[in-house]
Amino acid sequence: MDATLDPSLPAPPLVSIRSRWIGRAVSALPILFLLLDAAMKLARLPPVLEASARLGLPERSAASIGLLELACIAVHLAPRTATLGAVLLTGFLGGAVAMHMRIGDPMATHTLFPVYMGALVWVGLYLRDARARALLGGRR
């Protein structure tokens, strides 16, 4: 239950306006990339279908993966469920890492790119959300 609804609960620690805006900017980078990626999958663009085939995925899975990606993004964008969304996106991106490792893609550019995106998701969340900061053991 939220402290605003129950005065007996401690108020969540405050995040400075500057930190919140920096967190939003950092969060925007991976979210915009993931939205573009999901849209391309839903549109079934030829480059996406070629990349899926190279990864060993059937063409019909592109739309399902795009919808799953959008669902994870939606959960992350809602302030009350942002931390759960970050966890879901981490799992989604972990699957991408596994797929790239399986076919032997270059490590720094292809295989670890989802790790970079996941790190930005968490850094942005840490900077903008006091509850996530408390969860991760950071300063309040």
Question: Is 139:133 a contact under the CB 8 Å cutoff?
Answer: yes
Q: At what angle do helices 17-42 and 61-77 cross, to 10 degrees?
A: 160
Tens of pLDDT along 11-66? 666 889 999 999 999 999 999 999 999 999 999 999 999 999 999 999 999 999 99
pLDDT of residue 111: 94
For the chain, give every domain's residue range. 17-135
pLDDT at res. 131 = 87
| Cα Rg of the chain (Å, integer) | 17
pLDDT tens-digit profile of 64-120?
999 999 999 999 999 999 999 999 999 999 999 999 999 999 999 999 999 999 999
Q: Is 57 exposed, middle or buried (0-12, 13-18, 19+ CB in 10 A)?
A: middle
Instruction: Give the mean pLDDT of 120-136.
Output: 92
Q: What residues contact 38, with CB distance under 8 A and at least 6 apart?
A: 66, 67, 69, 70, 73
